[in-house]
Amino acid sequence: MEKLTQEIRKTAKEILEKGQANVVIGWEKGSAWYISTPVFIDKAEDVERLVWDEYCVNNLAKYLLDYKTVEGKVAIFVKGCDARGVNRLIQDKQVDREKVLIVGLSCPGMKDEKKAKELGKNAEIPLVKKCQECRYPEPIIFDIFLGEKGKKEPAKGKDFSDIKAIEKMSSDEKYDFFSENYDRCLRCYACRNVCPACSCRECIFDQSKSGWLGKANNASNNMFFGITRALHVAGRCIECGECERVCPVNIPIMLLNKKIIQDIDTLFGDYDAGLDPEGKLPLGGFEYSDPEEFM
Amino acid sequence: MSINEVPQNWEPKILVFACNWCTYAGADLTGLGRLQYPPNIRILKVPCSGRVNPQFVVKAFQRGIDGVLVAGCHPGDCHYSTGNYFTRRRFLIMNRMMEYIGIEPQRMQNKWISAAEAPKFQQVITEVTEEIRALGPNRKLRDDQWKN
């Protein structure tokens, strides 16, 4: 990883010096050894701040939106999941492919920062859950590729065992489980802000006068928020798990997203979001041969 | 009286989203034909079943509805050609989602009812009402009504 960090710095320096992009988005070392935070470099002399280690878990794709109206190109370092996030934004016509210089990195899987904090520096730290289940560790879209491919064995299929476990519960148990989780929700909207599938110019939850989402913070409104958000990203969720990672109260948000992914797969055929920037979205269209249950 | 007790004279409240061209006309025909159906439904006319946003349903449960029925034209009969195909995809996902978070599947139903199917409208409304009457009042998704 040390070697790749040097390569990243060299590439970033070249990009900025040659003027291929005005800004480079990457990771720098954060306030602790288990934190690597996003960094935005616009001067060639600052490239030494860039790092690549086991904690570069942040999905950088969403930051491209901050440069949507800025002149010039943006260079971005991407892992496998970030690349799907960039594809996602291109597919939603949020980002112009011509304006982005994508530098792909071979991802060995990222380690869990919360576990690292608990276990300490010398312990064996497990991979983040999304990396254990990752099926696309290599970026699927890039202009420049750094590192060697095949650092991580991709998972074979999608793992829906946690969804199946919930489906087996009774209605009341299910509702207890979700309402207890959503009771904790602060409605900080961090999950929305970090999500590469959430790119509406004005989010429904910001339209406070529309009356959709009540201001009172209770389980009912919080669940309205949770269900609505899951349905809004239905068919577009790239399973990067960022929503769950940023949640300050540890709500298992991916349980809702993965349920929808599972249903789309079984009802309308296997679909992976963010692979094809030109493709049609599962809920943006229909087939005459869709399952008929409403007769 | 605890809020979880079912009041003696409780009657289910059911919201029916009816498409303007088929189901609403079907409901009209049911009335014209003097076919009796339970008075527990509130019909909300929408231009097309594709107009029904899944959030309408969640909002209805929040505001105290016991069951929701989304009804529209049969596939292929949509006044706007393809509106109900979108409804079908959307609600195949939505119904499973509501079941997954703990709403009983009987409370969230979809049916295709054409303008000529007055007996079907009568039958569907009767069935849905009886199913929800058996389940009792809905407390889920409502403010402070669950386990209080």
B31: CATH: 3.40.50
- Is A171 in contact with B94 (Cβ distance < 8 A)? no
- Is B104 in contact with A216 (Cβ distance < 8 A)? no
Q: Nearest 5 degrees, angle CA B84-CA A279-CA A149?
A: 145
Give residue A24's identity as a one-letter amino acid code. V
- Give chain B's mean pLDDT: 92
pLDDT of residue B8: 85
* Tokens 């006309």 found at: B25
pTM for this model (two decimals): 0.91
pLDDT of residue A104: 93
Q: What is the DSSP string of A177-194?
A: HHHHHHHT-----HHHHH
- Is B97 in contact with A212 (Cβ distance < 8 A)? no
Note whether residue B36 is domain-resident. yes
Which residues of B fall below an 8 Å CB-CB distance to A? 54-55, 58-59, 62, 75, 82, 85-86, 88-97, 99-104, 110-112, 140-144, 146-147
Residue spans of chain A under pLDDT 70 = none
Nearest to A286 by CA among B22, B82, B109: B82
pLDDT of residue B116: 95
Note whether residue B34 is domain-resident. yes
CB atoms within 10 A of CB A23: 19
Beta-bridge partner residues of A110: none
Is residue B25 pLDDT above 90, yes or no? Answer: yes
Note whether residue B147 is domain-resident. no
Summarised one tens digit per residue, pLDDT across range B116-134 is 999 999 999 999 999 999 9
What is the least distance, in Å, from the CA of A208 to any CA of chain B?
15
Residue range(s) defining the domain that contains residue B54: 14-135
What is the least distance, in Å, from the CA of A233 to any CA of chain B?
12
Instruction: Nearest by CB to B101, from A163, A175, A204: name it.
Output: A175
Beta-bridge partner residues of A105: A146
Beta-bridge partner residues of B69: B16, B109
Q: How many domains does chain B have?
A: 1
What is the least distance, in Å, from the CA of B110 to any CA of chain A?
5
**Distance in angstroms (rounded) separating the CA atoms of residues A94 and A64:** 9
Is residue B3 pLDDT above 70, yes or no? Answer: no
**Distance in angstroms (rounded) separating the CA atoms of residues A146 and A56:** 15
Nearest CA in chain A to B72: A294
Summarised one tens digit per residue, pLDDT across range B78-114 is 999 999 999 999 999 999 999 999 999 999 999 999 9
Contacts B93 to A, Cβ<8 Å: 231, 234, 260, 263-264, 267, 283
pLDDT of residue B148: 58
Q: What is the complex's ipTM, to 2 decimals? A: 0.91
Test mutation, B92, B107, B143, B147, chain A, max A CBs within 10 A: B92
Nearest CA in chain A to B124: A295
pLDDT of residue A293: 92
Note whether residue B1 is domain-resident. no
* Tokens at B125, concatenated: 């409304």
pLDDT of residue B2: 64
What is the least distance, in Å, from the CA of A117 to any CA of chain B?
32
Q: Report CA torsion sign: A182, A134, A156, A276.
A: positive
pLDDT of residue B7: 82
- Is B103 in contact with A167 (Cβ distance < 8 A)? no
Residues constituting chain A: 295
* Tokens at A251, concatenated: 């709500």
Summarised one tens digit per residue, pLDDT across range A150-205 is 777 888 888 899 999 999 999 999 999 999 999 999 999 999 999 999 988 899 99
